[in-house]
Chains A and B, each alone.
Chain A
């Protein structure tokens, strides 16, 4: 069973359908026990960092997510869900994140189109179970903020958008994808399949 953590934000339908298409059972849940029993968990998210953290705290899903990460089972943050894994976000003022990875979430600044929206090519920086057997290709991004990792070794892949943009991160059993694997065609589904392959049972 794959738990998709529901904290009252975002469209979870596409993520859960994608998981099911890959042959896994998905449950969209805000039940701490159900989450902790799952073989893998996904923290999705769209919208603003501060709002999302507030929702996570209100629903107790912040603790549930940290407890899940501590269990050693695979946890994946997608888009804003990846950003929430980090220590600090600055969207609309500074906010504390889940602190599962060191780093900061900062706004794109520059004379280029924001949000970073569309298909961009991944550059793989180091081997990871997520990218095993896959070739670099395009995935679908939509975001106005991006992550400055605190520890370079956590970076698995970046995309080039006027700077290297953090695209995939990994720290032990905690993973993050800035793009939407469920909206990224075959490569996105393969990345998601690799993550789900880490689930026991």
Chain B
């Protein structure tokens, strides 16, 4: 059976890692390629780069980061952030990324999912969903633009649509849990995993090793993603995996 995956996420701006980096054993802790190689050595199963550059130059720099990373690491990696056209996907995949993450652009133009899937295969298309509980609805709502805009779209409907359009995977971030370190949003993850027939990467809220086992067992997630806790060395990938093995969860 497939192993559950542990995925560190790196926020990159103008070719530099921006969020929470605390590595003493790297020559240049701000270099995303060096950090990626370190996570590879530590046993990460996959990596996600989120490009938060606002400028054209910053985005061009990201292509170079992707190319260098592809030459350095031995695990698959996804690149997301600001991708709104099939041509953007092509440039990033050509540079050596394995998958493309799309979020706001897919909500605004769902055809981007089907166009990308037809062109590159579903396995390349990761639809990232930022969701927040809407108490009036009694269910979760999709947010766009980095969590700043409510879309009026129900998250469970959106993930079903994304799947039917050809998404290969869902990267699900709970805005309610994000930053709390109190654990992943089990209810949301479970609801999305049950609604979708494609793998779900749970994100937001990880603070302790046990949180990963919870989201795999109770949330039925296929992978768990975290950023800050790994960057600040509050947790290591190896420690998370040791705990999962103890709990009887299959990991690499």
Contacts and interface: CB of A to CB of B under 8 A. Distances in A.
Interface of A: 11, 13-14, 17-18, 21, 46-47, 113, 115-121, 137-138, 140, 142, 160-161, 180, 182-186, 188-189
A55 to B, nearest CB: 16
Contacts of A117: 2, 123, 168-169, 199
A183 B75 CA distance: 4
B3 A119 contact: yes
Contacts of B94: 11
Given A11-B93, A14-B96, A161-B2, A119 B74 contact: no
Nearest to B122: A115
A92 to B, nearest CB: 13
B231 interface: no
B76 A140 contact: yes
Interface of B: 1-3, 5, 40, 43, 45, 67, 70-71, 74-76, 93-96, 98, 121-123, 168-169, 197-199, 222, 250, 252
Contacts of B45: 118-119
A46 B121 contact: yes
A185 B70 contact: no
A113 to B, nearest CB: 6
A183 B199 contact: no
B70 A14 contact: yes
Given A185-B74, A189-B74, A119 B93 contact: no
22 contacts: A13-B67, A13-B70, A14-B70, A17-B71, A18-B74, A113-B197, A115-B122, A115-B123, A115-B168, A116-B2, A117-B168, A118-B2, A118-B45, A120-B1, A137-B252, A142-B123, A180-B76, A183-B74, A185-B40, A185-B43, A185-B74, A185-B252
Given A160-B1, A183-B75, A185-B75, A119 B121 contact: no
Given A113-B197, A119-B3, 10 more contacts: A13-B67, A13-B71, A113-B198, A115-B122, A117-B199, A118-B5, A120-B3, A140-B75, A161-B2, A183-B74
A118 B70 contact: no
Contacts of B1: 120, 160-161
